[in-house]
Amino acid sequence: MRRRNEADNLKISVAIDGPAGAGKSTIAKLVGKEYNLMYINTGAMYRAVALKAKENGLSSNKVDEICKLISKMEMHFENDDLIVDGENIQEKITMPEISNIVSNYASIPEVRSILVKLQRDMSNKFDVIMDGRDIGTVVLKDASFKFFLTASADERANRRFKELQKRNIECSYDQILKDIIDRDYKDTHRPTDPLKKADDAIEIDSTKLDINGVVEKINEYIRKGKK
């Protein structure tokens, strides 16, 4: 992983935003490998907050307690997974019960400001590829490359359904589609840092593209832009 040093002015940061299930994390991991960038999954950080708050019985109106809890959490990424206080929590945070509550915590302005600061600290230390909802618009406004990845709600529900089935997690397609539509609404309508395409982001619709097709498109933009 490329760690930056003071004299190093060759900074690279890649921002990937888009709605739930558009394939951001799969694609960010692959592009990250290609260019030796640290992959920062910011959705995982919001999910970790939801998980820990749930474990501690803190509903989303307990803002002070939640902020205190976050200040005690040590979060870092190892091999693309989020490690919190030494535990790999990747499996736990992708369970449907966390997906269904995470936007309640992600919409708290105080939570966002703490996590945005942590994310910027990571990008100051490492060359990163970061995915989320507000990376190009808030976290890394000066990112070297910005992409906005979309896909139809049906296609995104279909992908999530197949992924959960593969993990033997009981689920219904209709429920997943409903959850995705609800989450899109919440992500795009919250007052603080809603999901929106940055003016200077390149939009890629992945509905009819496979993973390699999207990765190749992004790699091409980066290759062309890299001096």
Site residues, ligand DC (CB under 6 A)? 20, 42-43, 46-47, 102-103, 106, 132-134, 183, 187
Residue 43, annotated as binding a ligand: no
Q: How many angstroms separate the Cα of 205 from the Cα of each of 9, 94, 197?
A: 33, 24, 13
Q: How many angstroms separate the Cα of 38 from the Cα of each of 35, 105, 123, 140?
A: 9, 25, 9, 14
CA separation for the pair 143, 15 (Å, rounded)? 6
User: What's CA 110's distance to the chain center, in Å?
Assistant: 18
Residue 18, annotated as binding a ligand: yes
Which pairing describes strands 145-150 and 75-78: parallel, antiparallel, or unpaired?
Answer: unpaired
Closer residue to ligand DC in complex, CB, 8/185: 185
CB of 132 to ligand DC, least distance (A): 2
Closer residue to ligand DC in complex, CB, 12/136: 136
Residue 59, annotated as binding a ligand: no
CA separation for the pair 224, 227 (Å, rounded)? 8
Residue 22, annotated as binding a ligand: yes
Contact yes or no for 84/74 (Cβ under 8 A): yes
CB of 4 to ligand DC, least distance (A): 22
Residue 21, annotated as binding a ligand: yes
Closer residue to ligand DC in complex, CB, 32/43: 43
Residue 213, annotated as binding a ligand: no
Closer residue to ligand DC in complex, CB, 9/30: 30
CB of 161 to ligand DC, least distance (A): 15
Closer residue to ligand DC in complex, CB, 127/187: 187
CB of 83 to ligand DC, least distance (A): 16
CB of 226 to ligand DC, least distance (A): 25
Residue 150, annotated as binding a ligand: no
Closer residue to ligand DC in complex, CB, 8/182: 182
CB of 25 to ligand DC, least distance (A): 7
Q: How deeply is 11 buried, as exposed, middle or buried, from its count of CB atoms within 10 A (0-12, 13-18, 19+)?
A: middle
User: What's CA 221's distance to the chain center, in Å?
Assistant: 21
Amino acid at 89: I
Q: Cα Rg for the chain, rounded, in angstroms?
A: 17
What does DSSP assign to residue 75? E
User: What's CA 108's distance to the chain center, in Å?
Assistant: 16
Binding residues for ATP: 18-26
Binding residues: 18-26
